[in-house]
C-alpha cells in the first residue's frame, strides 16, 4: 500500500525545545493511526509538521496529496471562539478552498453545511454563536467542518479531550467512517484503552519512535516502560519541557 505521509529523518523543535529526533517512517494511505506518548514527547509538534504549520529543522515530510488537501484539527485550546461566528458560518469555512477569492457562499454550500451538522447531531443549532456552545458541541462543529472539507488525509490533535462520553462515541463513529472510506486518519490521543479499541495502528513517541506498527504490538509493557523512562530522564536532566 502506498504512503500518504512519509517522514524522512525528521528533526523538529517547538518553542526552542527539542521535540522530535531523526524520525523516519510512513503513514499508509487509508490507515487509521494513533500517536501516543508521554507529555513532551513531540506528538502535537509532529502533527503540526505534517500539516505544514511547522518547518522542520532537518529532514522532510513528503505528502502524497497537496498540503491544501489536508484536514487539520488543532487542539481546542488553540482555537479562538470569541469571534462572532454562527455554527453554520463556521462549518461553511470547511468549503473555503472551493469558494475562490471572489465567490460567495451559495445555497449549495449552506445545504452541505446543514447536512454536515445533521451528521454530527447539531441540527437546529445553525444560528447559535460558537462561543455559546459547550466543549462537546463545539467539537462536533469542528468535525462537521472537516466533513465539508472532504479531505483525503485528516489530522486530529487530541480530538476527544474534555468532551463527554456520548460526544466521543459519536465522533469516533465518524472517524471509523472516514477509515472505511479509505481516508488516512492520524490522531494524537492519550487514552490508551481507546486506542486499543478503535485504532489499528499506533506510533509510540518519546521524541523518537519507540515503536510504530500494529497497536497490539506497539502498546506492550516493555515499550510503554521505555517511553516512560525516557520522559523521566528528560525531567531529571533538563526540567519539565513544555507540552509538545
Q: What is the mean pLDDT of residues 114-120?
A: 95
Give helix then strand counts, H and E, for the chain: 9, 9
- Cα separation, 3 vs 30, whole angstroms: 9
**Per mean pLDDT, which range of 108-117, 146-155, 233-242 is the poorest?**
233-242
> SS3 for 93?
helix
Q: What is the mean pLDDT of residues 189-195?
A: 97
- Cα separation, 203 vs 47, whole angstroms: 12
The residue behind cell 475562490 is 100
Residue ranges per domain, the chain?
Answer: 1-65+152-163+179-244, 80-151
180-190 pLDDT, tens digit per residue, is 999 999 999 99
pLDDT computed for residue 231 by the predictor: 84
Class of CATH domain 1-65+152-163+179-244: alpha beta
pLDDT computed for residue 100 by the predictor: 52
Contact (Cβ atoms closer than 8 angstroms) between residue 47 and residue 155: yes
- Cα separation, 175 vs 199, whole angstroms: 10
Q: Residue 17: what are its φ and ψ, rounded to 5°?
A: -100, 140
Q: Please spell the DSSP secondary structure of 183-198, one letter per residue.
A: -EEEEE---HHHHHHH
29-60 pLDDT, tens digit per residue, is 999 999 999 998 999 999 999 999 999 999 99
Contact (Cβ atoms closer than 8 angstroms) between residue 69 and residue 149: no
128-158 pLDDT, tens digit per residue, is 999 999 999 999 999 999 999 999 999 999 9
pLDDT computed for residue 79 by the predictor: 83
pTM: 0.91
- Cα separation, 110 vs 50, whole angstroms: 30
97 has pLDDT over 80: no
Q: What is the mean pLDDT of residues 90-99?
A: 76
Contact (Cβ atoms closer than 8 angstroms) between residue 104 and residue 179: no
19-30 pLDDT, tens digit per residue, is 999 999 999 999
**Per mean pLDDT, which range of 66-75, 103-112, 177-186 is the poorest?**
103-112
pLDDT computed for residue 103 by the predictor: 57
CA distances from 98 to 69, 79, 183 (A): 11, 23, 20
- Cα separation, 77 vs 138, whole angstroms: 12
Amino acid at each position: 500500500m502506498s504512503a500518504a505521509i512519509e517522514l524522512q529523518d525528521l528533526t523538529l523543535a517547538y518553542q526552542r525545545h527539542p521535540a522530535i529526533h531523526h524520525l523516519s517512517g510512513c503513514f499508509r494511505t487509508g490507515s487509521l493511526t494513533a500517536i501516543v506518548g508521554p507529555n513532551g514527547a513531540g506528538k502535537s509538534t509532529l502533527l503540526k509538521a505534517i500539516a505544514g504549520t511547522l518547518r522542520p529543522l532537518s529532514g522532510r515530510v513528503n505528502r502524497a496529496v497537496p498540503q491544501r488537501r489536508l484536514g487539520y484539527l488543532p487542539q481546542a485550546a488553540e482555537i479562538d471562539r470569541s469571534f462572532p461566528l454562527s455554527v453554520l458560518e463556521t462549518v461553511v469555512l470547511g468549503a473555503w478552498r472551493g469558494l475562490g477569492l471572489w465567490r460567495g457562499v451559495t445555497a449549495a454550500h449552506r445545504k452541505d453545511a446543514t447536512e454536515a451538522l445533521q451528521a454530527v447531531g447539531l441540527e437546529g443549532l445553525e444560528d447559535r454563536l460558537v462561543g455559546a456552545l459547550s466543549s462537546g458541541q463545539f467539537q462536533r462543529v469542528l468535525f462537521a467542518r472537516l466533513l465539508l472539507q472532504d479531505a483525503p488525509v485528516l489530522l486530529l490533535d487530541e480530538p476527544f479531550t474534555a468532551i463527554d462520553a456520548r460526544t466521543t462515541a459519536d465522533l469516533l463513529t465518524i472517524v471509523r467512517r472516514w477509515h472505511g472510506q479509505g481516508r488516512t486518519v492520524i490522531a494524537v490521543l492519550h487514552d490508551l484503552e481507546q486506542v486499543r479499541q478503535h485504532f489499528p495502528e499506533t506510533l509510540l513517541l518519546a521524541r523518537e519512535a519507540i515503536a510504530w506498527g500494529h497497536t497490539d504490538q506497539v502498546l506492550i509493557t516493555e515499550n510503554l516502560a521505555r517511553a516512560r523512562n525516557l520522559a523521566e530522564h528528560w525531567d531529571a536532566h533538563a526540567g519539565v519541557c513544555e507540552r509538545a
